[in-house]
Amino acid sequence: MRRVSFEGLERLSDFEVDVRLIHSKSSNISLVNLNEGESFEIEKSDFEVHVVVLSGEVEMISGSIQDIFKAGCLASILPHQNVYINSLKISRVLVIRDNPTWVMRARRSVRKFSSIPVSKDLILKVIDNARLAPSGGNIQPWKIYLTSDSEKKKLLSEFSFNQQHVNQAPWVLVITAIPEESEKEYGLRGRELYSIQDTANLALYIMLSAKAFGLDSCWVGEFDEEKVRKIINAPENERPVVIIPMGYGEESPVAPERKSLNEILIEF
């Protein structure tokens, strides 16, 4: 039995490429060549591990579960599971360890966008994925306004105190809160706090979803609420919370310095 840590495998790729093309270090892909009768163990991982049998035939054992996989089969291993692989024939196995935290590490506030067009279908996929954002009581007290119209983007930029990236991005979203919807369930606290918290959750999900689909974005919170509400034609009961310009970035900002865990974490 060989105990295999990913550092011990023949490394095929450890990507450091433009994240629009290959997600930077989102996966560690390794190849294992096995003779008949050889075995190895895949150590526990914090994230999912995927095993692709390229050739041959293997038996996979995890706890009380065991199964046989032939060439062309894919098995996904849940986090924190030890898996043993026994080769029943001469086999080649591809082991892919995901690291989904790349989205959070790669997202940046981008203020310079490319002229490369972005399809509406892609933007809709981003938004549809973000609908999973949590909200108090699952009320979802929000609306999403979307435009690619040059005149409207120009006005939104003007009403955002001339932040030019709002006008430059191919698409702009305006996220509004509907305080009265939260108020019905949670009273004044729902109106003044929960509705804003929930809408902020949605906006963050949208930006992370955008990065997962290879797009860049920026949080814009400085704008004239009333003028923005009028340009998007939102009703009086909606409050614009954030503007999100979105597209392919033409810059890769360096991650700003963050407070250390010790500075922000207080155990009580």
Q: Which residue's entry shows tokens 């098995």?
A: 75
Q: Identify the structural domains of the chain with CATH numbers, from first to last.
A: 2-102 (2.60.120.10), 107-247 (3.40.109.10)
DSSP 7: G
Give me the pLDDT at residue 26, please: 60
Give me the pLDDT at residue 235, please: 97
Task: Find, among 100, 120, 129, the residue nearest to 209 by Cα.
Answer: 129
Give me the pLDDT at residue 1, please: 40
**In this structure, are residues 97 and 6 in contact, taking their beta carbons and an 8 Å threshold?**
yes
Q: Within the chain, which residues score under 50 in pLDDT? A: 1-25
b vs e for 98-116, b when ≥16 Cβ sit within 10 Å of the residue's Cβ? bbeebbeebbbebbbbbee
Task: Find, among 223, 131, 102, 104, the residue nearest to 172 by Cα.
Answer: 223
Give bridge partners of residue 67 from the DSSP assignment: 60
Burial of 193 (0-12, 13-18, 19+ CB in 10 A): middle
Give me the pLDDT at residue 30, please: 80
**In this structure, are residues 146 and 175 in contact, taking their beta carbons and an 8 Å threshold?**
no
Give me the pLDDT at residue 181, please: 98
Q: Please report the DSSP string for 9-30 in residue order.
A: SEEEE---S-TTTS-TTSEEEE
Give me the pLDDT at residue 195, please: 98
Give me the pLDDT at residue 187, please: 97
Task: Find, among 20, 29, 75, the residue nearest to 51 by Cα.
Answer: 75
Phi-psi region of 59 (alpha: psi -120 to 50; beta: other; left: phi over 0): beta
Return d(Cα 222, Cα 228) in angstroms, integer. Answer: 11
Give me the pLDDT at residue 31, please: 84
Mean pLDDT of the chain: 88
pTM, entire model = 0.76
Give me the pLDDT at residue 27, please: 65
